[in-house]
C-alpha cells in the first residue's frame, strides 16, 4: 500500500498517510491541527541487485548516480 506525503495548509506540518491508490485523491487531515493537507510530490529510490550481488541504482529513480 502506498504512502502519500501531505503538508497542512494551515500549520505547514508535514505528515504521511498510508492508503490505497483508489483513495489517493481523498482529503487527508493534519494530525496536529485537523485542517486539510495538500498532497506533495514524493521522491522514491529503487535499487536492483546485479548478477555479481552488488546493488546499483535504477536510472530515473531518486538518488541514481549513474
Q: Answer for the pair 6, 17: CB distance below 8 angstroms, yes or no.
A: yes
Residue-wise pLDDT tens digits, 2-35: 899 999 999 999 999 999 989 988 999 999 999 9
CA gap 17, 49 in Å, rounded: 29
Task: Delimit the domains of the chain by residue range.
Answer: 3-43
Q: For cell 496536529, what's the residue?
A: 32
Cα–Cα distance list, 33 to 4, 7, 13 (Å):
18, 12, 9
DSSP structure class, residue 23? G
Q: What pLDDT was estimated at residue 64?
A: 46
CATH domain 3-43 topology: Rubrerythrin, domain 2 (2.20.28)
Amino acid at each position: 500500500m502506498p504512502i502519500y506525503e501531505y503538508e497542512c495548509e494551515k500549520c505547514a506540518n508535514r505528515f504521511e498517510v498510508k492508503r490505497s491508490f483508489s483513495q489517493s485523491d481523498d482529503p487527508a487531515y493534519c494530525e496536529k491541527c485537523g485542517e486539510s493537507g495538500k498532497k506533495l510530490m514524493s521522491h522514491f529510490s529503487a535499487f536492483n541487485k546485479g548478477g555479481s550481488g552488488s546493488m546499483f541504482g535504477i536510472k530515473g529513480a531518486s538518488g541514481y548516480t549513474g
